[in-house]
């Protein structure tokens, strides 16, 4: 049974605990869907002030909705479209302080005010993205970017 952990210390220390927790949670499991589902659930209970946490995976050149926590969302996102498609096209994390200022942002949940999308790249190929939405502006900072990129690096060992 999953034990809810009390994260302690600084934001950095809490994220370090989260990374270890992710690694042990996914250890020995080779189901990609199960691992993405548990990774989204783990992140959702770790992060405060978020309204959507989940994955899109690349399928025939477009991003398709994968395991997530939150309201039902758009199913397909073409490469280059929205924040997610921009992250895959540019192969770079997109940290968006205000989604209303991001040209082409795709609104799946009207609550969303800020967003971070981390591309998941394996052997030079785009596997998909980690997408997190927040109901407040400027929810994510450079510490979040650093550790969410580390979160994706740890997750990749289990995909």
CB contact at 8 A, 83 and 75: no
Q: Which is nearer to ligand SME, 42 or 53 (CB)?
A: 53
The least CB distance from residue 45 to ligand SME, in Å, is 18
| CA 148 to each of CA 76, 77, 101, 120, 131: distance values in angstroms, whole numbers, following the listed order | 23, 21, 22, 11, 10
**Angstrom distance (rounded) from CA 131 to CA 26:** 19
Q: Is 47 in the site for ligand SME (CB under 6 A)?
A: no
**Angstrom distance (rounded) from CA 52 to CA 69:** 6
Single out the residue of 105, 126, 139, 148 in contact with ligand SME (rule: CB under 6 A): 105
Q: Is 140 in the site for ligand SME (CB under 6 A)?
A: no
Q: Is 108 in the site for ligand SME (CB under 6 A)?
A: yes
Q: Is 131 in the site for ligand SME (CB under 6 A)?
A: yes
Binding site for ligand SME (CB under 6 A): 52, 73-74, 77, 82-84, 105-106, 108, 112, 115, 131, 133
């Amino acid at each position: 049974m999953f034990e809810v952990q009390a994260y302690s210390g600084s934001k950095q220390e809490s994220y370090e605990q989260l990374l270890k927790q992710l690694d042990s949670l996914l250890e020995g499991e080779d189901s990609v869907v199960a691992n993405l589902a548990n990774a989204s659930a783990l992140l959702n209970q770790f992060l405060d002030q978020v309204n959507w946490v989940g994955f899109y995976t690349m399928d025939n050149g477009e991003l398709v909705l994968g395991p997530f926590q939150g309201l039902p969302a758009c199913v397909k996102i073409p490469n280059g479209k929205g924040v997610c498609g921009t992250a895959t096209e540019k192969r770079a994390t997109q940290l968006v302080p205000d989604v209303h200022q991001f040209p082409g942002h795709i609104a799946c949940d009207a609550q969303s005010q800020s967003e971070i999308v981390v591309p998941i790249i394996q052997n030079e190929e785009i596997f998909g993205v980690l997408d997190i939405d927040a109901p407040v502006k400027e929810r994510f900072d450079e510490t979040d970017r650093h550790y969410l990129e580390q979160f994706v690096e740890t997750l990749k060992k289990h995909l």
